[in-house]
Structure 1
Amino acid sequence: MRRDDRDDPFDDLFREIERMMNEMMGEDFDMHVERGGNAGGQTGFGTETHVDVHETDERVRVIADLPGVEKEDIDLKCDGEVLTISAGSDHREYDERIRLPAQVDEHSATATYNNGVLEVQLDKAEDSADIDVQ
């Protein structure tokens, strides 16, 4: 017996979520569009890879999966608050901006790339100096 889509117990829930997203976004939002690759101009980490951010008292560590990317095709930038990872291969383009959980010293950054896994470590910046008002 073939299952009919009309028998999907979550169909009403998905329709309601889609309606709310359309209302909120002010455009046609289609939950059924498969994201990934270069479909619909959407590229990046949110669909094809996983990014983890870990924070300790002294450091922030970002780990990102970049399957199929060569090390020389990775471009990293940091302004102390946001880490930007741009990378590409013949099949995929990644462009992700990651808001870091703490202010970091961008000049302390070190990065390694091994077997499709990028790891970036940054030292936390010193706290801002207190200013006495006179």
Structure 2
Amino acid sequence: MVDRSNPFEDIERFFERMNRSFGDVPMAPGLHDVAVDVAETDDEIVVTADLPGFEREEITISLSGRDLTIEAEREEHAEETDEDEGGEVRYVRRERSHRQLSRTVRLPAAVVEDSATAEYRNGVLTVTLPRETAETDDDSHTIDID
């Protein structure tokens, strides 16, 4: 019988190499649910993220050096009651859910943190980060959403 390598181990090694190549920051399992596009020009870097169902107040954006982190968190509650003609409750349904998303992307170049802007419209977050000409310190900076 021929010895074969485990194909799942090969796939896992492939993804590890890809993460190292692209420089994504590792994350907790199950929180990598934010679809992100990163585009760059000579003057700026634009990060677009899909966050449907969230309100502006539920989204936090932070920047530390070249790592941009987008987090969104919300709690939802639903309750449904059905009564018969005599006023007795026949059916009650209660649902509670907690939804949390997080994504950290490594920016392709240094940016001017104080000049970063963000806009949230129709479930799409757009973060615009002007490019920097020289590296600065790695202190974290929070970006307000318009």
Q: Same fold (TM over 0.5)?
A: yes
Question: Into which bin does the TM-score normalised by the smaller protein fall?
Answer: 0.5 to 0.7
Residue of structure 1 aligned with 2:41, choices 31, 52, 56: 56
Q: Which amino acid aligns with 1:115?
A: N
Unaligned 5+ segments in structure 1 are: 1-14, 25-39, 129-134
Deviation, structure 1 residue 54: 0.3
Partner of 2:108: 101
Q: Tell me the distance in 1 between the aligned counterparts of 2:29 and 2:40.
A: 32
Pair 99,115 (structure 1): closer, same or farther in 2 beyond 3 Å: same
How many residues are treated as equivalent by the alignment? 96
User: Aligned ranges for residues 1-134 of structure 1 at < 5 Å?
Assistant: 16-21=6-11, 24=13, 42-45=30-33, 49-90=34-75, 91-127=98-134
Q: Which amino acid aligns with 2:116?
A: A
SS at match of 1:104: coil
Q: Tell me the distance in 1 between the aligned counterparts of 2:112 and 2:68.
A: 11
Higher relative contact order (CA 8 A, sep 6+): 2
- Normalising by structure 1, we get a TM-score of 0.63
Q: Tell me the distance in 1 between the aligned counterparts of 2:55 and 2:112.
A: 26
Q: Which amino acid aligns with 1:96?
A: R
Could you say which structure has the higher strand fraction?
Answer: 2
Q: Tell me the distance in 2 between the aligned counterparts of 1:121 and 1:84.
A: 13
> Moved runs in structure 1, 4+ residues, more than 3 A?
none
Pair 16,84 (structure 1): closer, same or farther in 2 beyond 3 Å: same
Q: Tell me the distance in 2 between the aligned counterparts of 1:89 and 1:77.
A: 18
CA shift digits 1:69-124 (9 cap, x unpaired)? 11001111112311011111235211111100110011111000011100000101
Identity of aligned residues (%): 41
Larger Rg: 2
Q: Tell me the distance in 1 between the aligned counterparts of 2:38 and 2:9.
A: 32
- Normalising by structure 2, we get a TM-score of 0.58
Q: Which amino acid aligns with 2:119?
A: T
Unaligned 5+ segments in structure 2 are: 14-27, 76-97, 136-146
| Contact persistence 1:68–1:89 (CA under 8 A) | no
